[in-house]
Amino acid sequence: MRIVHVVESLDMGGAEQMVVTLARMQRAHGHDVSVVCLFNEGVLAEEARAAGVPVDACGKRPGLDLRAVRRMRRFIAGARPDVLHSHNPVPHYYAIAATRGVRIGRVLNTRHGMGSSGATGRRDFLFRLAMRATDWGVAVCEAARQRFLTQGLMSAERAVTVRNGIDLTRIRPRSDDAHARLLAGLAVQGSPFVFGSVGRLNVLKDQVTMLRAFAAFCADAAADAASASASAADAAMRAAILVIAGEGEMRPLLEREIAGLGLTGRAFLLGQRRDVPDILAGLDAFVLSSRTEGYSLALVEASAAGLPIIATDVGGNREIVQDDVTGALVPAGDVPRMAQAMRAIAAAPDRCAALGRAGRDWALREGAVETMFARYEALYARGPA
C-alpha cells in the first residue's frame, strides 16, 4: 500500500512524533510511506528518513500560497498514494486543494487536538469544505470526536476515534538508578521527591499554574519540618524538586515566575531534550497543567514509565488518567487542588507506586503504537461511510 502523510512540519511535538512513529511502523510492515510537510521539514525529518520514509517540504509562505499548493500536488501525485492521510486542519484543506483530480483510493484526516471552542473561523469553514472530499475524519479521543460532531466539523457517519500510541520499547520504567542520574545532572544533593513535566512552554500548557502549585506544596512541606514524627517521605517532600522539559515562548515568563516564587534551585527548566525517556525514568511523579488537551502522548509516555500522574481534567486526559487509580485529575488553573494532589502522592510512597503500576498496565494494553497501527490499517481498508 502506498501511503502519504501530510503535516504542517516535523518539528518536535506530540502529533509530529506520532506521525513519524506510525510511518516508521507502516514502513516496517512493507508499505511505501512518505511524508509531505506544508511548511518546513522540522527536526524529526531525519528520524523519518533514517527509517526509510522520504520527507518533502512545500515551504508555505504566509497567506494563500499557490506555489505551495503546486509543490504539494507534485509530491503527492508523484507518490500515487492509495491512502492520503493528513494531520490537522490546514494541511488537510491544502492537501484536498492540491489533489483535485488526482486519483486516490482513500482520504483520511486526523485532528490531534480539541479544536477551538467555537467553529466560525475561516479555517473551520475551509476544513468543512475539505471534509466533503474525505472518507474518514479521525479524532484522537472520544471527547474531541464529540466536540467535532457538535460543531459540525465532522459527520457522525464518517467520524471515528483512533487514540494515538507510542513506541513502548523507547520507554523504560522508573528506576532508582535513573533517579540518581537525573539528580546528578542537576547537581542536586540527597534523594528528593522529583515531580516532572514534558511539553511546550506555552500559555495553553499553563506551566505557571504548575509552578505556583509546586510553590504551595513546598510551603506546606516546610511547615511540617519541625514535626518530631517526620518520616523519610517527609524529608523527601521537604527537598522536592520540579523539572520541566520543553521549550517555547513562555520561557522568559516562567524564569521570572521561578525567581519570584523563590523556587531557584528547586524548579528547573531543562529546555528541549531528546532524552525524554531517561528523564521520565528518573521522576517520581508526572504533572500536566494544560488548559486544553486532545490526547496527550506525554501522559501516555508517563504512564508507560510507571509514574503516578497529576493532570488537569480537560480534553482526553480522563481517557488516560483514572482518578485515584493511576493518578489524580484536578480542575485546570486550580493551584490549591494541584498542590493538594502533589502532597497526597508524595506523602504516600506505597500509594505512589501502586498508581504507577496501574498506569503502566494501562499503557501496555492501550498505549502501544501497535494498537494504533492496527486500527488505522483497518480504517484504510474500509470503504467510505
Q: What residue ranges do the domains of the chain occupy?
A: 2-165+368-381, 168-366
- Residues 12-40 have a mean pLDDT of 94
In order of 214, 251, 296, the CA distances from 257 in angstroms are: 12, 10, 25
Question: 104 by DSSP, 3-state: which?
Answer: coil
- Residues 228-250 have a mean pLDDT of 84
Q: Is the pLDDT of residue 228 over 60?
A: no
- Residues 283-308 have a mean pLDDT of 96
- Whole-model pTM? 0.84
Q: Is the pLDDT of residue 322 over 90?
A: yes
Q: Is the pLDDT of residue 124 over 70?
A: yes
Fold of 2-165+368-381: Rossmann fold (3.40.50)
Q: How confident is the model at residue 221 (pLDDT cuts 50, 70, 90)?
A: confident
Other CB atoms within a 10 A radius of the CB of residue 95 amount to: 29
User: Rounded distance, CA 89 to CA 102, Å?
Assistant: 20
Q: Is the pLDDT of residue 224 over 90?
A: no
What is the predicted pLDDT for the residue at 233?
72
Q: How confident is the model at residue 383 (pLDDT cuts 50, 70, 90)?
A: low
What is the predicted pLDDT for the residue at 151?
93
Do 308 and 326 touch, CB atoms closer than 8 A? yes
Q: Which three cell numbers stand for residue 192?
A: 528528593
CATH topology identical between 2-165+368-381 and 168-366: yes
Q: Is the pLDDT of residue 238 over 90?
A: no
| 168-366: CATH architecture | 3-Layer(aba) Sandwich (3.40)
Q: Is the pLDDT of residue 4 over 60?
A: yes
Average pLDDT, the chain: 94
What is the predicted pLDDT for the residue at 74?
97
More confident residue, 233 or 303: 303
Q: Is the pLDDT of residue 246 over 90?
A: yes
Strands (E), the chain: 2-7, 32-37, 55-57, 83-87, 106-111, 136-139, 159-161, 194-198, 241-245, 267-271, 285-288, 309-312, 327-330
- Residues 58-79 have a mean pLDDT of 96
Q: Which residues contact 243 (CB under 8 A, 6 or more apart)?
A: 182, 186, 194, 195, 196, 197, 267, 268, 270, 279, 283
What is the predicted pLDDT for the residue at 335?
98
Q: Is the pLDDT of residue 44 over 60?
A: yes
What is the predicted pLDDT for the residue at 237?
84
Which of 11-15, 77-81, 211-215, 249-253 has the weakest average pLDDT? Answer: 11-15
Q: Is the pLDDT of residue 229 over 60?
A: no
Q: Is the pLDDT of residue 169 over 80?
A: yes
What is the predicted pLDDT for the residue at 121?
82
Other CB atoms within a 10 A radius of the CB of residue 176 amount to: 10
Which of 12-21, 52-61, 99-108, 175-184 has the weakest average pLDDT? Answer: 12-21
Other CB atoms within a 10 A radius of the CB of residue 292 amount to: 17
Q: Which three cell numbers stand for residue 39?
A: 511548511
Q: How confident is the model at residue 180 (pLDDT cuts 50, 70, 90)?
A: very high
- Residues 145-155 have a mean pLDDT of 94
Q: How confident is the model at residue 230 (pLDDT cuts 50, 70, 90)?
A: low
What is the predicted pLDDT for the residue at 226?
57
What is the predicted pLDDT for the residue at 113?
87
What is the predicted pLDDT for the residue at 156?
95
Burial of 92 (0-12, 13-18, 19+ CB in 10 A): buried
